[in-house]
Structure 1
Amino acid sequence: MTTETARKPSVLFVCVHNAGRSQMAAAYLTHLAKGAVEVRSAGSQPADKVNPAAVEAMKEEGIDISAELPKVLTTEAVKDADVVVTMGCGDECPYFPGKRYEDWVLEDPAGKGVGAVRPIRDEIRSRIRKLIAELLPAARPDAR
């Protein structure tokens, strides 16, 4: 298989509001995988905007998510993903046999200040590094 025909793995991050956890996860995967993974995020009940504390916490990492907008979860997005990572959306997330699903139990950053969001952000970064190692075994995410 040549690089032209090789398909990137795709990951969909889903949380209820698509305003915190899933936005941070998508941003980390995009940043750390350096474009080698197709990344999407969505919510079953998307908020109007991304959580300001999540924006600030990611800015501390040198990643700007201030222009991101919460998106509605669609059946097509789930069908198109190789890996679906859910973060507290429960039964509202569609399920398709044959997909790889992971449920990351993470505290919801909604209504919390940046100090409370940092540990959530750091846990997401750790899980993203593990996911990259599984999806791209030849790749080594940077130490950041």
Structure 2
Amino acid sequence: MSNVEVAKESEFILPTYEELWESSELYAARDANPLCSGGIYAGCASGAGVGPAFYGGIGNSVKPNPAQMKNINRFQKKIPANAKENIQTHQLPNDGVAVQATSPGKVSGSKAVYEKQIDAAGKTTQYTKTTYDPQGNIVHVKDKLNGGVFP
């Protein structure tokens, strides 16, 4: 290879997915997500929540397989519109994945947290909606898989 060919090749070095993610608005906003404060969910500060791992790229701790991604995409389509920007992923034992979305409530300070747990085969094992009052107390937990409501 001549020097000219080497120079042309090096002009087109593309950034990695992680570099693109770190320069995105979502990465900058991740610290504003209350679920990430205090490091409650592994990898929030390192970009493992909504970012490369969630969107199928290479993440630091959560790497959903194709079956799980299909289930996560379904989850994302069905959650309320105001929760779509607040999605977090969390690694579970046995290669499972938990996906959470927070929907601000109509009453100031209240919220609903939708959580879906997906096994390694991509099957939903648990799906709940937890409603919180403005003081952060749990109002109730609704089992969206089996239909029960727990006060």
Asked if Structure 1 and Structure 2 have the same fold, meaning a TM-score greater than 0.5 normalized by the shorter chain, the answer is: no
Higher relative contact order (CA 8 A, sep 6+): 1
Which entry has the higher C-alpha Rg, 1 or 2? 2
Larger relative strand fraction: 2
TM-score by length of 2: 0.25
In proportion to residue count, which structure has more helix?
A: 1
Normalised to the residue count of structure 1, the TM-score between the two structures is 0.26
